[in-house]
């Protein structure tokens, strides 16, 4: 051990420091010989306790039996409904609860520290069949948060990150052809939506509508979306919302296990595979590891009538994680690389606005008749590489609370290869963005009914370019301090939070490619949140939240200058822009854990002061390629209001109707007009049948689902000024179906599934696809997926 | 026993954690070398001007050669003699016409002018590419009657893999769009 440490010391300062953090406990173990309880390594001194309640009336239930099958231990709730299990080890458990007159229920819990967990039971008489409550349905926050995990996430495997999030009401995508998509939350995207990749704020070149998030969705076991301004916890900029990409926790039980995915599709003939191997050392239980990698390749995509030239993609990703986790302290190292090559529809690279008008008039790419399938990617394409290194440590400060530290380093290298007359290997644009983020949080112990978190965070980033100066050099430094507190008593929960951020921006720009100017900016502001949640009982919760967030203008909005080729516009930055400030109000109703009908309704209103957008200018810009419509970054007050509704209804045993509706109404208050490029109203309905399967059968968990998405025409496009080159496309309906099952070959389960998109081969275009001027959307596509989990941990027993 | 264990752990662990926190903070702030400034972009291969030269086919009549150079935002004037045949040649800054000639199968120039002012014929054999399609760098132009005036628009299209007998000005990517005023006196 000591030798290993010596070796490590010769490594870089950073690595050594980081590694020391998890080595330290090992050293302690050495210095502390002597009698230790047999299971001390496993942290078996935990307590699992709570109250058994009637779910509707919240009355305590006295004398209920609570059984832990994993430990074969049972207990009974006392005269106050309380139960306790002491000396429990870390791990995943099932709580089976029985009480006369109530349905027997199971609760899954994951123990990493002592836990208090209430167990609400449903009265027997009202139940139609067994309800299996597998997670906590009670919301933790008043602001709407929705997540995709489990089977729902499995069904999206093989899709890009933004596409997987479309299953959440209120979330849509902004696309540039079939390969590039980014998430849109309540009409806002890019710089206004924060992505947290494994707890680190993703810093790529998010400002670009054609810049997809550089995250491998296979890393995630859960994707969470916070809709609406959420600046307090995650930092300024989160005006539209936050997407949290969360990997599974590292394993805590000894052995080696993992999973392999194989995916294939028709249409663009995508082939993908992803594999994860993870383990935990029997001799050193706190130490665990994970390796993961993904390969993805697709060729030209096909509309119902023709292939889209140069729309293939290639992606290679891998990640590695190492964790040392004890009850009172722990550390984790994580490294990931994402690299992708994305073909861009060749037709969309045009010279001037006249070319664009020709393309719109033609209605299909000029070479549509001859385009064929190929995996080859030619100019124009993007080559993007994103590295992330993360180091995290936590320390349980006795009774006082929990201290956590996260450091992240990211390097984003973006190379864009446009069409050129002369053959050259060099890209036409290269941007390198280096970002260091730190965050220290302290979760204090409950003070009476108040729980909360305080923290500080910093971001330091530096951008450089080569080959093109569309975006200047810049150095940004941000520091923030925040606190969020929650007060909870009986059925009422109140939340409050405040954050202060300071952002400094140093820009270096060569004016007219000659004269160096170095403008400096400083922005600072507060973000806040106030919220209340009331649990009515009878499976009904009301939430009300008022949040605010602000966003400093980005370097592109301040200083970009030049022709935006695929948009056929001449865009000018505005060095005098102020910060945007958003105020978000949300009212929500949750009706959950019911045998038949469940749902969430959310009404929101987002007011943004000094919303930054590209406004059309009266005079075109004359270039050597001809006249370009001019657009300049301008500020106006804007409102975005809408409704998200998702509900499901059980029609019969195994048969569920699932429905999602997203409506949005967005106005520019200064011009008294609609905001451009806002998602149209969207309705997503499906009928799902789950086959009942007896235990020990060869097939389990079989399901079949048929549904459709209807996207209305966006009639709320700007009317007063010419901002768009073509009217919004017609609404469309897409038929979709899915089926899947788990095949058991001996003890080995194999999950298989098939998803069919656009089954009627509908010809359509989407308003939020930047390439809708040039070509149709994809035709029919079948995606096949196989997942093989494996586990070598049992063989050792 | 339990409390001493915790205490010892804290004692031992605290310096490491502190070092870890400080180290990472240090790195995140010390890597702020601020000595590099952007270098000017080398603007290769960019077309900045187009020169149109009209030489009379008949050299014995004493007719002057007409020439005009277009740059972004300008609209230069060509003065022509009525009812005259000209050999027109197009050149660009930095001899880019040589590059276009090398990639002749992927490029074509298109001309648009009122017929009573100027008629453009892409008929000169020297101008044809290997697929027997005209490029437009060398053309025959016929001027109209005295007093006619109009605009001549010349568009250079990059048509990689798209140049066929049917491909017209609507196909491909515009590399330059130049406009001249033509005066026939």
CATH number where A573 lies: 2.40.170.20
Which residues of chain B neighbour A440 with C-beta distances below 8 Å? 21
State mean pLDDT over A341-354. Answer: 89
Chain B hits for A460, CB-CB cut-off 8 Å, are 28-29, 31-32
Write out the two tokens for A685. 């309905």
Residues A635 and A521 in one domain: yes
Partner residue facing B23 (CB), from A17, A361, A472 = A17
pLDDT of residue B3: 41
pLDDT, greater one: A86 or A500: A500
Q: Is the CB of B71 less than 8 angstroms away from the CB of A626?
A: no
- The band of B8, judged by pLDDT with boundaries at 50, 70 and 90, is very low
Q: How confident is the model at residue A11 (pLDDT cuts 50, 70, 90)?
A: very low
User: Do A9 and A48 belong to one domain?
Assistant: no
* Same domain assignment for residues A448 and A562: yes
In-domain check, residue A230: no
| In a domain? residue B21 | no
> Is there a domain that residue A547 lies in?
yes
Q: What is the CATH number of the domain that holds B97?
A: 2.60.40.1080
Q: What is the rounded average pLDDT of the residues A402-425?
A: 88
CB contact under 8 A, B20 and A331: yes
Residues of A in contact with B5 (CB under 8 A): 32
Confirm whether B30 is domain-assigned. no
Residues 345-374 in A contacting B (C-alpha not used; CB under 8 Å): 349-352, 354-355, 358, 361-362, 366-367
> What's this model's pTM, rounded to 2 decimal places?
0.83
Helices (H) and strands (E) in chain B, counts: 2, 9
Check whether residue A94 and residue A10 sit in a common domain. Answer: no
CATH number at residue A116: 2.60.40.1120
Q: Tally A–B CB contacts below 8 A.
A: 163
From B17, B25, B45, residue closest to A438, measured CB to CB = B25
What is the nearest CA distance from B60 to chain A, expressed in angstroms?
A: 37
Question: Is residue A15 domain-shared with residue A131, that is, in the same domain?
Answer: no
Going through A473-596 in order, the beta strands assigned E by DSSP cover: 473-489, 492-511, 515-517, 520-537, 540-551, 561-564, 569-572, 580-591
Distance from CA of A795 to the nearest CA of B (A): 35
- Mean of per-residue pLDDT scores for chain A: 87
Residue B84 placed within a domain: yes
pLDDT of residue B22: 58
Contact (CB, 8 A) for A175 and A181: yes
Within-domain flag for B13 = no
pLDDT in tens, A676-704: 999 999 999 999 999 987 666 788 889 99
A632 and A532 in a common domain: yes
Residue A621 falls within a domain, yes or no?
no
**In the numeric block, which tokens belong to residue A16?**
């050594």
Which residues of chain A are within 8 Å of residue B12 when distances are taken between CB atoms? Answer: 24, 27-28, 31
* Percent of the residues in chain A that have a pLDDT greater than 90, as a whole number: 59
Task: Judge if A127 and A247 occupy the same domain.
Answer: no
Q: Is A395 on the interface with B (CB under 8 A)?
A: yes
**Residue at A161 is within a domain:** no
Q: What is the pLDDT averaged over residues A159-165?
A: 93
Q: Is residue B172 part of a domain?
A: yes
Interface check for A334 against chain B (CB to CB < 8 A): the answer is: no
A246 and A113 in a single domain? The answer is no
Number of domains into which chain B is organized: 1
In the sheet that holds A145-149, the strands lie side by side as A145-149, A222-227, A241-246, A193-197, A200-201
User: Can you give the pLDDT at residue A736?
Assistant: 96
B32 neighbourhood in chain A, CB within 8 Å: 460, 462, 475
How far apart are the CA of B59 and the nearest CA of chain A, in angstroms? 33
Q: What is the pLDDT of residue A463?
A: 95
pLDDT of A33 over the 60 cut = no
CA distance A432 to A437: 16
Final residue belonging to a domain, choices A113, A136, A159: A136
Shortest CA distance from A362: residue in chain B: B170
A292 and A350 co-located in one domain: yes
Which residues pair with residue A590 across a beta bridge?
Answer: A541, A600
A519 Cβ contact partners less than 8 Å away, ≥ 6 residues apart: A507, A509, A575
Residue ranges of A 458-497 with Cβ closer than 8 A to chain B:
458, 460, 462, 464-465, 467-469, 472-473, 475
The answer to whether position A209 is within a domain reads no
Domain range for A296: 242-418+427-615+627-796
A165 in a structural domain: no
Q: What is the pLDDT of residues A94-118, one digit of tens each?
A: 888 988 778 888 888 888 888 888 8
What's the pLDDT tens digit per position in A453-462? 999 999 999 9
Give the pLDDT confidence score for residue B35 in this predicted structure. Answer: 57
A789 falls within a domain: yes
pLDDT at position A314, please? 97
SS3 A699: strand
- Residue B7 inside a domain? The answer is no
| Cβ A96 vs Cβ A74: under 8 Å | no
Query: Within an 8 Å CB–CB cutoff, is residue A510 touching chain B?
Result: yes
Q: Are A421 and B45 a contacting pair at CB < 8 A? A: yes
The CA distance from A626 to the nearest CA of chain B, in Å, is 5
Contacts of A458 in chain B (CB under 8 A): 25, 28-29
Report A:703-732 residues touching B (Cβ under 8 A): none
User: Which pLDDT belongs to residue A59?
Assistant: 81
Confidence band (pLDDT; 50, 70, 90) for B14?
low
Measured between beta carbons, the chain B residues lying within 8 angstroms of A625 are 174-177
* Shortest Cα distance, chain A CAs vs residue B98, angstroms: 11
Residue among B28, B103, B160 whose CB faces A438 most closely: B28
- Asked if the structure places residue A226 within a domain, the reply is no
Q: Tell if the CB–CB gap between B175 and A31 is shorter than 8 Å.
A: no
Residue where a domain stops, chosen among A136, A151, A167: A136
If asked whether residues A72 and A12 sit together in one domain, one would say no
- Band of pLDDT at residue A565, cut at 50, 70 and 90: low
> Where are the strands (E) in chain B, listed by range?
49-56, 66-71, 77-80, 85-92, 107-112, 118-121, 138-143, 149-158, 173-184
- Name the domain count of chain A: 3
Ranking A38-47, A773-782, B51-60 by mean pLDDT, the lowest is A38-47
Task: Decide if B142 is inside a domain.
Answer: yes
Report the complex ipTM.
0.81
Instruction: Mark whether A116 and A261 lie in a shared domain.
Output: no
Chain A, residues 620-649, CB within 8 A of chain B, namely: 622-626
**A423 backbone dihedrals φ, ψ, rounded to 5°:** -70, 130
**Residue A607 and residue A718 in one domain:** yes
Q: Which residues constitute the domain of residue B131?
A: 49-184
Integer Cα distance of A348 and A369 in angstroms: 16
In a domain? residue B40: no
């Amino acid at each position: 051990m000591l030798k290993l440490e010596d070796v490590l010391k010769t490594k870089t300062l950073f690595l050594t420091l980081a590694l020391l953090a998890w080595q330290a406990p090992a050293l302690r173990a050495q210095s502390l010989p002597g009698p230790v309880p047999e299971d001390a390594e496993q942290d078996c001194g935990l307590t699992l306790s709570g109250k058994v309640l009637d779910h509707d009336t919240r009355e305590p239930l006295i004398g209920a039996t609570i059984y832990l099958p994993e430990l074969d231990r049972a207990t009974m709730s006392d005269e106050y409904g309380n139960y306790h299990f002491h000396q429990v080890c870390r791990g995943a458990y099932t709580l089976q609860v029985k009480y006369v007159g109530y349905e027997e229920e199971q609760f899954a819990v994951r123990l990493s520290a002592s836990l208090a967990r209430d167990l609400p039971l449903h009265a027997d008489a009202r139940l139609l069949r067994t309800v299996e409550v597998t997670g906590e349905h009670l919301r933790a926050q008043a602001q709407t948060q929705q997540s995709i995990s489990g089977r729902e996430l499995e069904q999206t495997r093989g899709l890009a990150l933004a596409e997987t999030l479309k299953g959440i009401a209120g979330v849509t995508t902004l696309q540039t052809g079939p390969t590039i998509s980014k998430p849109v939350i309540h009409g806002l995207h890019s710089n206004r939506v924060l992505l947290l990749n494994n707890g680190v704020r993703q810093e790529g070149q998010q400002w670009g509508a054609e810049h997809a998030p550089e995250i491998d969705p296979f890393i995630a076991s859960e994707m969470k979306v916070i809709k609406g301004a959420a600046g307090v916890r995650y930092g300024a900029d989160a005006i539209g919302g936050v997407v949290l990409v969360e990997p599974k926790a590292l394993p805590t039980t000894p052995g080696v296990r993992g999973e392999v995915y194989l995916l294939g599709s028709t249409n663009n003939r995508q082939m993908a595979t992803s594999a994860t191997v993870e383990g935990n050392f029997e001799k050193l239980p706190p130490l665990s590891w994970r390796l993961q990698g993904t390969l993805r390749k697709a060729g030209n995509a096909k509309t119902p009538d023709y292939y889209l030239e140069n729309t293939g993609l290639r992606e290679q990703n891998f990640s590695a994680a190492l964790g040392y986790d004890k009850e009172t302290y722990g550390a984790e190292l994580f490294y990931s690389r994402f690299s992708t090559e994305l073909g861009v529809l060749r037709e969309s690279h045009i010279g001037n606005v006249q070319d664009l008008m020709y393309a719109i008039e033609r209605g299909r790419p000029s070479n549509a008749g001859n385009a064929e399938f190929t995996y080859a990617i030619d100019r124009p394409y993007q080559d993007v590489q994103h590295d992330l290194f993360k180091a995290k440590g936590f320390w349980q400060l006795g009774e006082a609370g929990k201290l956590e530290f996260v450091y992240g380093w990211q390097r984003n290298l973006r190379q864009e290869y446009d069409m050129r007359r002369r053959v050259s290997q060099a890209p036409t644009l290269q941007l390198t963005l280096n970002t260091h983020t730190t965050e220290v949080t302290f979760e204090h112990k409950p003070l009476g009914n108040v729980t909360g978190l305080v923290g500080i965070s910093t971001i330091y980033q530096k951008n450089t370019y080569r080959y093109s100066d569309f975006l200047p050099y810049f150095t940004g430094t941000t520091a923030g301090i925040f606190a969020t507190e929650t007060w909870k008593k009986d059925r009422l929960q109140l939340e409050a939070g405040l954050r202060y951020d300071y952002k400094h921006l140093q820009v270096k720009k060569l004016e007219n490619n000659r004269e160096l100017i170095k403008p400096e900016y400083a922005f600072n502001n507060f973000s806040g949140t106030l919220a209340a949640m009331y649990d009515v009982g009878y499976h009904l919760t009301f939430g009300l939240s008022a949040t605010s967030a602000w966003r400093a203008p980005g370097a592109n909005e301040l200083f970009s200058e030049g022709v935006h080729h695929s948009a056929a516009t001449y865009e000018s930055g505005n060095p005098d822009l102020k910060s945007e400030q958003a105020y978000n109000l949300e009212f929500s109703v949750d009706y959950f854990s019911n045998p038949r009908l469940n749902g969430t309704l959310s009404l929101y209103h987002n007011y943004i002061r000094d919303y930054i957008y590209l406004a059309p200018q009266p005079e075109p810009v004359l270039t050597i390629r001809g006249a370009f419509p001019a657009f300049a970054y301008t500020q106006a007050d804007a409102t975005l209001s809408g409704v998200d509704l998702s509900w499901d209804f059980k029609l019969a045993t195994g048969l569920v109707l699932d429905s999602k509706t997203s409506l949005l109404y967005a106005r520019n208050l200064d011009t008294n007009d609609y905001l451009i490029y806002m998602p149209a109203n969207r309705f997503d309905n499906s009928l799902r049948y789950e086959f009942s399967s007896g235990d020990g059968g060869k097939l389990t968990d079989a399901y079949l689902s048929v549904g459709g998405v209807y996207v209305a025409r966006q009639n709320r496009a700007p009317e007063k000024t010419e901002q768009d080159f073509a009217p919004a496309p017609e609404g469309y309906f897409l038929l979709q179906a899915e089926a899947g099952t788990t095949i058991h070959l001996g003890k080995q389960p194999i999950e298989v599934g098939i998803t069919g998109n656009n089954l009627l081969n509908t010809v359509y275009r989407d308003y939020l696809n930047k390439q809708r001027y040039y070509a149709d959307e994809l035709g029919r596509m079948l995606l096949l997926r196989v997942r093989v989990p494996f586990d070598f941990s049992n063989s050792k027993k | 026993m339990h409390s001493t264990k915790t205490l010892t752990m804290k004692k031992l662990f605290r310096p490491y954690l502190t070092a870890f926190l400080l180290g990472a903070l240090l790195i995140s702030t010390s890597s702020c070398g601020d000595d590099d400034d952007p270098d000017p972009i080398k603007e290769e291969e960019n077309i900045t001007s187009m020169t149109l030269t009209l030489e009379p086919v008949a050299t014995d009549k004493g007719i002057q050669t007409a020439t005009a150079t277009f740059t972004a935002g300008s609209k230069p004037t060509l003065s022509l003699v009525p009812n005259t045949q000209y050999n027109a040649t197009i050149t660009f800054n930095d001899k880019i016409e040589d590059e276009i000639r090398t990639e002749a199968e992927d490029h074509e120039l298109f001309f648009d002018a009122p017929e009573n002012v100027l008629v453009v014929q892409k008929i000169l054999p020297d101008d044809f590419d290997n697929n027997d399609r005209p490029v437009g760098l060398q053309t025959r132009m016929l001027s109209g009657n005295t007093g006619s005036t109009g605009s001549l628009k010349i568009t250079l299209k990059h048509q990689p893999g798209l140049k066929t007998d049917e491909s017209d000005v609507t196909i491909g990517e515009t590399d330059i769009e130049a406009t001249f005023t033509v005066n026939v006196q």
